[in-house]
Amino acid sequence: MNSVKHGFFPDEVIFHILARLPVKSLFRTKTVCKLWYRLSSDKYFIQLYNEVSVKNPMVLVEVSEVSESKSSLICVDNLRGVSEISLDFLNDRVKIRASCNGLLCCSSIPDKGVYYVCNPMTREFRLLPKSRERPVTRFYPDGEASLVGLACDLWTQKFNVVLAGYHRSFGHRSDGTFICFVFDSELNKWRKFMSFQDYHFTHMNRNQVVFVNGSLHWLTGSSCIVVLDLDCDIWRKMSLPDKLGYGSGNRSYMLELDSCLSLIEISDSWMNIWVLKDYVREEWDLADRVSLRCIRGLVPGIFPISQTSEYVFLATHKQVLVYQRKNRVWKEMYSVKNGCTLPLWFSAHAFRSTILSCH
C-alpha cells in the first residue's frame, strides 16, 4: 500500500477519491498543485478512474425540441442525473455515429466523409484522415457507410474506427461485396479489405454495436450476429440464444453487459436479458426476466440503450427510463418538455464517462 503522504491524506486515498469525481471537477483539480496535475496522466490513476466509471452506465441522447431550432446533447447519468453536453469544441456540426468506452465517433454533417473521434468529457478530439482518395459524390455512391463502429480498448488506450458498407455502382443494386475501412489510432492510418456477404441491417441494428473480446458485434435483421475480429480483419457469424422467441411482437437488441455480449428481448409483457456467458462455445444464459406490467403503455415504443448488472437504461419517444434490477424499480430519468421532432431512442447511445485520450 502506498504510504506516501502529501497533506492530510496518503496518495492512495487521494487516488480513490479523485477517481470518483466527474471529469469536469477532475480537470479543475489539476490546478491544485503539481502532483495533482500529473495525476490525471498517471497510467495507474487513469485505469482506476476508468474502472470506476465502467460501473456507472449513462445514455447520451440528441434532443431536437420543436420549440428550439437546434438540437442539444443530453447526458443521463445514473448517479448524477441529467446534464447538457456540448460538442462545440469540434467547431463543426456533427452526428454521433458510435460510442465506446467514453469516446465518440462523429461524422461531419456539412462535410461528408469527415470523421472525428472525441471524448466529450475531456474535450479532446482527433480529426481522422480521410478514408478514401476521392471525395464521395453521387457518381461514386459506395459512400456513406452503412455500419460505423468504434472499438476503444481501455487497457491499451488505442482505438479503431470501422466504416463498412455494400459496394454499389451508380444506378445498380448491391453486388454483395462488403467493403470495410478500418482506422488504426496507433498507425494513424486506414486499411481496407473486402468480403462477400448478404446481411440486412435496420437503423436500430446499425446504432447498436458492441465491442467485447477484441471484436465488434452487430445484430442483423436476419437474426444472427455479425462479428468483425479486428486482430485479423475477418467477418464471421454468431448465433442467437436457441430459446429466443420469434413471434410477432418479439424484438431483440444487442448491448454490452459487464464486458459480455448481451441480448435484450422485449415482448409485450416481458423483458428477457440474455448474456453470452461462454464466448467461445457461444453459450447464452438467461440473466433476468423482467415484468413490463408497470410500464405496459410504453412497451411498444421502448428500446434498451445501455446496462450494467444493476441497471438498465431504456428510451421511448420522449423519455429515458432506468430499471433497477435489485429493487425491481422503474424510474424516469429524463423527459422532453415540449414535443420533439425525432424519438429519443433514434439517437440514443450507450455511454460511460472515462478519461480515455484519443491521441
Q: How far is the CB of 84 from other proteins (least distance, A)?
A: 12
Q: How far is the CB of 45 from other proteins (least distance, A)?
A: 13
How many angstroms separate the CA atoms of 154 and 260, rounded? 15
Residue pair 147/161 in contact (Cβ under 8 Å)? The answer is: no
Q: How far is the CB of 7 from other proteins (least distance, A)?
A: 3
Among 149, 19, 101, 106, which residue's Cα sits nearest to residue 351? 101
Radius of gyration of the chain (CA): 21
| Residue number with CB closer to other proteins (44 or 193) | 44
Q: How far is the CB of 33 from other proteins (least distance, A)?
A: 5
| Residue number with CB closer to other proteins (181 or 330) | 330
Q: How far is the CB of 185 from other proteins (least distance, A)?
A: 23
| Residue number with CB closer to other proteins (24 or 243) | 24
Q: How many other C-beta atoms are found inside a 10 Å radius of the C-beta of residue 213?
A: 14
Among 245, 149, 133, 253, which residue's Cα sits nearest to residue 205? 253
What is the total residue count of the chain?
A: 359
Residue 260 corresponds to which cell in the numbers above?
A: 459480455
| Residue number with CB closer to other proteins (29 or 213) | 29
| Residue number with CB closer to other proteins (85 or 136) | 85
How many angstroms separate the CA atoms of 264 and 271, rounded? 7
Site residues, other proteins (CB under 8 A): 1, 6-10, 12-14, 16-22, 24-25, 27-34, 36-37, 123
Q: How far is the CB of 128 from other proteins (least distance, A)?
A: 23
Q: How far is the CB of 126 from other proteins (least distance, A)?
A: 18
Residue type, 151: A
Residue 207 corresponds to which cell in the numbers above?
A: 446504432
**Residue 255 burial (10 A CB sphere; 0-12, 13-18, 19+):** buried
- Look up residue 271 and give its DSSP letter: E
| Residue number with CB closer to other proteins (40 or 195) | 40
| Residue number with CB closer to other proteins (27 or 270) | 27
